[in-house]
């Protein structure tokens, strides 16, 4: 007699090529054929980091995807703007050519419900403003 050990694997969901999770195989396959998946995948290729708000800042949400990028070309800028159009339905929040060579945070909100861009300077300014509003103003 030979002792046999088996490990049972349970499928709990499906991950698309760009890292988005789905409960069903059909949902995942449909998404992978969408423009949103293609654009997110292309951005992920040049991203310095692809994570979540919580994954980067240790605060915020695990449901908000975040790309840290330094656009190197007009093509990179176009991809970022295509992402915003696909998610927001318009181009109100655009990245300009001035962002080439600068660090940007690309946040796609809860489950891709909105898209916005932050520069490192903008993020630092917001944190400084928050510190003033919450801490220093209260001390006055």
Q: Is residue 72 part of a domain?
A: yes
Residue 82: inside a domain: yes
For residue range 8-22, list pLDDT tens digits in order. Answer: 677 688 888 888 888
Euclidean distance between CA atoms 99 and 70, whole angstroms? 8
Answer whether residue 112 is part of any domain: yes
77-88 pLDDT, tens digit each = 999 999 999 999
C-alpha to C-alpha distances, 44 to 12, 21, 50, 69, 123, nearest whole angstrom: 24, 15, 6, 9, 21
Does residue 19 fall inside a structural domain? yes
Give the C-alpha separation, 75 to 70, whole Å: 12
The domain total for the chain is: 1
Q: Which pLDDT value is given to residue 136? A: 62
Task: Establish if 1 belongs to a structural domain.
Answer: no
Q: Please answer whether residues 30 and 48 qualify as being in contact, where contact means their C-beta atoms are separated by less than 8 angstroms.
A: no
Within a domain: 4: no
Residue 8 belongs to some domain of the structure: no
> pLDDT grade, residue 76 (50/70/90)?
very high
pTM more than 0.85 = no
Residue 49 has a pLDDT of 93
> Is residue 43 assigned to a domain?
yes
**Residue 20 belongs to what domain range?**
14-139
* pLDDT tens profile 20-38: 888 888 998 998 889 988 9
């Amino acid at each position: 007699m030979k002792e046999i050990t088996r490990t049972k694997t349970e499928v709990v969901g499906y991950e698309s090529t760009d890292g988005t999770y789905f409960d069903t195989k059909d949902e995942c396959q449909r998404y992978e054929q969408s423009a949103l998946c293609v654009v997110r995948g292309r951005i992920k290729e040049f991203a310095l980091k692809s994570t979540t708000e919580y994954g980067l800042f240790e605060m915020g949400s695990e449901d908000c995807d975040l790309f840290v990028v330094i656009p190197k070309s007009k093509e990179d800028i176009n991809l970022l703007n295509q992402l915003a159009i696909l998610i927001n339905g318009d181009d109100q929040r655009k990245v300009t050519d001035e962002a080439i060579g600068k660090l940007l945070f690309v946040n796609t909100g809860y489950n891709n419900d909105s898209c916005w861009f932050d520069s490192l300077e903008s993020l630092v300014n917001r944190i400084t403003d928050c510190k003033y509003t919450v801490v220093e103003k209260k001390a006055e």
